[in-house]
Structure 1
Amino acid sequence: MGDERVRAGTPEVRASDAERDALVTRLGEAMAEGRLDVAEYEERVDVALAARSRGELERLTDDLPAPTPAKRDGPMQGAERLTDSVPTSSTAICVMGAAVRDGTWTVPKKFTALSVMGHAEIDLREAQFTAKHTTIQAHSLMGSVEVVVPDDVHVRVEGVGVMGAFWMDDDPADVPADVPIVTVTGISLMGAVWSSTQPREHQKPPKKRWWHRRKSVTEG
């Protein structure tokens, strides 16, 4: 019995009741998935309930895959934006008009935006990324390109302005290291290219209904 609880001369960590219960739950899931039959399930449950160490519990799931992590409630954040999906679009071009990429879409590793006497808006607030490092080549000729980013994406602006301008309104502070990084580069000739950090839909304050606005005016 002592040999079972000692590995390479070091005592194994004792298992808690919560860990035994969690293991039994995992075994039940494995049976429901068809990975264990009833007899195997019952045999392992008996061992789990009698186990004294974590090692004994771990050995009961050595031949089972790791449980699928529960899906996160709410909108994706930071590293959750990385995906293996096929990019939705790789360019946004406008000539004396407008081009917009927004909503839920997948950004390739390299994206090109061109504005000639028009305005292009690249909205990344609900976007997913195929790479941790994304480059947006933004070029403007007497036009403008705006890259809208959320507070969980790190952005860098490195373009060149010729009788024009490149700038970044602000960059979120304390962004985790594993978030996507977007570099905006290119040339602006008598135009403007910039990035701005804006709130996502779930971060915006609730809109006042007409009766709330009327009440505020009356009370004022």
Structure 2
Amino acid sequence: MTDNTPRLRAGDQARHTALERLEWAFRDGQIDFAELQERTEKAQKATYIDELPTLTQDLSLPANLAEPTPHAHPNPNLRPNLHSVPDEHHSVAPNAANNHQPARIDSSAAATGSKLSIGIFGGTDKRGPWTCAPTHTTMAAFGGTGLDFREAILTAETTVVNIGCAFGGVDVIVPDHYQVDVDVLPIFGGTDVTGKPGRNLPAPGAGQAPKIIVRGFVAFGGVEVKRVPQ
């Protein structure tokens, strides 16, 4: 008897779940970078939902990542934007530096905040009113990723951004009244932080200001952290 059940299309949330599982397995040492790259490309190109489980079925995953792959309720924050991260000169209103908006922190959204962004042979940006988990991992290889925190909804007073970048670039935009701590290891690459001196930059009068910790490594690529007026 022929099964006439139609194949379901894969959405952004289903692809993101697969990518999150792959990223966890990579950090756990279950797959190497070449396998991560190969499987990530397949996940990003998946048309149907049944193409995704084969990419992760051989992985040992924690309970919170081993649930069935979702295919409904798409999250607009997961839709990639392939445009470059905007330059501060094109988006900052006059005198904006003197009118800091209070940071939006919603600890109740920690479980659903964005935890992962990947740009492999392509680009992914997080910008606008997106929700960031307390720890966000961004990976770029032969591509780029961008994280813009000016309108982001944070879920903790301290947000950790883990960066893994090889032959690519990562841009991080942070409001200038936030505290910033950057500890990125460059290997035949570079890390540039605006708002010198130093790379550990306390915000002016930042008693209760949120803190963004940027750490990780960059090889044959670049990481740029920009502190700009909100």
What TM-score comes out, normalization by structure 2 length? 0.50
- Kindly, what percent of the aligned residue pairs are identical? 25
How much has 1:81 moved relative to structure 2? 3.3
Aligned to 1:81: 105
Give, in whole Å, the separation in 1 of the partners of 2:107 and 2:129.
13
1:150 aligns with 2:180: no
Kindly provide the CA deviation profile for residues 39-58 of structure 1, in whole angstroms up to 9, marking residues without a partner as x. Answer: xxxxxxxxxxxxxxxxxxxx
Give, in whole Å, the separation in 2 of the partners of 1:107 and 1:84.
12
How much has 1:114 moved relative to structure 2? 0.5
Give, in whole Å, the separation in 2 of the partners of 1:92 and 1:164.
20
How much has 1:76 moved relative to structure 2? 4.1
Give, in whole Å, the separation in 2 of the partners of 1:107 and 1:146.
16
Q: Any gaps of 5 or more consecutive residues in structure 1?
A: 1-73, 201-220
Contact 1:81 1:129 survives alignment (8 Å): yes
Aligned to 2:227: 197
How much has 1:164 moved relative to structure 2? 0.7
Change (3 A) 1:110 1:173: closer
1:135 aligns with 2:165: no
Aligned residues: 126
Quote the RMSD (CA, aligned, Å): 2.0
How much has 1:113 moved relative to structure 2? 0.5
Give, in whole Å, the separation in 2 of the partners of 1:162 and 1:199.
30
Q: What is the letter of the counterpart of residue 191 of structure 1? A: G
1:101 aligns with 2:131: no
The structure with the larger Rg is 1
Contact 1:151 1:175 survives alignment (8 Å): no
Change (3 A) 1:93 1:175: farther
Q: Any gaps of 5 or more consecutive residues in structure 2?
A: 1-98, 196-200
Give, in whole Å, the separation in 1 of the partners of 2:118 and 2:105.
25
How much has 1:88 moved relative to structure 2? 3.3
Aligned to 1:180: 210
How much has 1:166 moved relative to structure 2? 2.0
How much has 1:90 moved relative to structure 2? 0.9
Kindly provide the CA deviation profile for residues 49-101 of structure 1, in whole angstroms up to 9, marking residues without a partner as x. Answer: xxxxxxxxxxxxxxxxxxxxxxxxx98414x4354224431111011111100
Superposition pairs of residues 18-97 of structure 1, within 5 angstroms = 76-78=101-103, 80-86=104-110, 87-97=112-122
Contact 2:180 2:203 survives alignment (8 Å): no
